[in-house]
Structure 1
Amino acid sequence: MLDERRNPSAPQADPALIAAFRALPVANISDNLHRIVGAVGLRPFHDGTAMAGTALTVRVRAGDNRAIHEALELVRPGDVIVVDGGGDESRALIGEIMTSVARMRGAAGFVLDGAIRDLDAIARSSFPCFARAGIHLGPYKNGPGEINVPVTIGGMVVHPGDIVVGDADGVLAFSQDIAPALLTATRAQTAREDAILKGIAEGRYVGAYAAPAAG
């Protein structure tokens, strides 16, 4: 049962780490998380701009956005507002006004396990917004809700202060503690894949499962 917890925001991740992860494909980061971490069923509704930032988490009653409005008063530049709406698609939790406020305050994006509206405006925007669905029906504003507590987004647990990344392939989150090692591994994989793609462009490719050449 939801209560009214309002916890302090967690320390933000190193901006250099955030910038580095924003430049990497989410699919490659996922591969180096053993391919078991990620939100299922969420997709980008904006223009596809990549997202990375520190999680400011919100948990709401289905179809109610009061706690999201309160979280907008706490958002810091670089925060990703991660909203556990229980996967409810019956009412939009945010729209153009709330995404505009978040952008004005320097947020890195919105991730919602729920619905949004004003889809045309959000589709034209470069401000990252990932959600489960779109619908015209607006939200209730009665609460309850919680801020900066562990939440579940599309089956993925997100803790306050986690690093959250997203691109056209979807969204994932991970602890700041593992970020440096994960960054090194993902960069190495990306470099290998870039070399493979370069070879393909030059007309040479050996399949990943091909037998080695004799002698």
Structure 2
Amino acid sequence: MSEPTTQAVWPPGWSIQPNGASIAPSVIAAWRAIPVAVAGDCMGRSIGATGLRAYHPELDAVLCGRAITVRTRPGDNLVIHQAMQMAEPGDVIVIDAGADVSQAIVGGLIRTTAQARRLGGFVIDGAVRDLLEWAEGGMPCFARGHTHRGPSKDGPGAINVPISCAGLVVQPGDLLLADADGIIAIPQAELEALMPKVQAHLQREAEIRAINASQGGNPQRVLAMLKAKGLPV
């Protein structure tokens, strides 16, 4: 399916823009091995979605791919269907549905489509339904809540525009990274420079973990930090 052109004039509340730039498979594979907590530490420890939970059963599942952003009226999923048709294999559908959980906007039928199109998963600031189907696994999904009440398909909505999803700012084309700990978005322009910092952080954590395991912690390190605060220890 061809993508819309940016020259189109959209009615109020509507906008369908092209997907963000592709991310090389090798880059996605490298970031898939990075824990969200480590990436978040290297990005200031204050970035990430809050209040969402996993609806897939695999605790070790990692969601990592290009973000296709969606902003929709609470309880309506018309533009979500279009976003899925625009998405490529591995892409992640990231949805700002206003944190509303009174009507589900993604369910088992959408899950089936996503599997057929080999999408990377969903991050939804809204509600899902058909929990038994999500419990079958194979399609990562993070959402704010769930309900049996289904969606409308009236719009309006927008695709590939900047959104805020559960407190996380996501631009179209960002790398969306999620695991059992949380969810973050990394701008493509920052991926190359951030990776060495992440690798160094992983090395520091490995060294600290080894000391903690062999010595039951590092009292000298703790004392040094306390003294740096001016405490008489």
> Which of 110, 113, 119 does residue 122 from structure 2 map onto?
110
Q: Is the 8 A contact 2:65 2:92 kept in 1?
A: yes
Establish whether residue 15 from structure 1 lines up as the match of residue 28 from structure 2.
no
Higher relative contact order (CA 8 A, sep 6+): 1
After superposition, the CA RMSD in angstroms is 1.7
> Which of 78, 81, 91 does residue 103 from structure 2 map onto?
91
Measured against aligned partners, the alpha-carbon deviations of 1:174-208 in whole angstroms (never above 9, x if no partner) come to 21001112121112111221232233333453144
TM-fit CA distance, 1:126? 3.0
Query: Where does 1:164-179 land on structure 2 (aligned, <5 Å)?
Result: 164-179=176-191
C-alpha distance in 2 between matches for 1:120 and 1:185: 40
Establish whether residue 209 from structure 1 lines up as the match of residue 222 from structure 2.
yes
Q: Which runs of 5+ in 2 are unaligned?
A: 1-10, 226-233
Residue 3 of structure 2 corresponds to which residue in structure 1? none
Structure 1 counterpart SS, 2:44: coil
The code of the aligned residue for 1:24 comes to I
Establish whether residue 183 from structure 1 lines up as the match of residue 195 from structure 2.
yes
Establish whether residue 147 from structure 1 lines up as the match of residue 159 from structure 2.
yes
State the percentage of identical aligned residues: 42
Q: Which runs of 5+ in 1 are unaligned?
A: none
C-alpha distance in 1 between matches for 2:213 and 2:134: 36
Could you tell me the TM-score, scaled by structure 2's length?
A: 0.85
> Which of 29, 34, 38 does residue 24 from structure 1 map onto?
34
Residue 58 of structure 1 corresponds to which residue in structure 2? 70
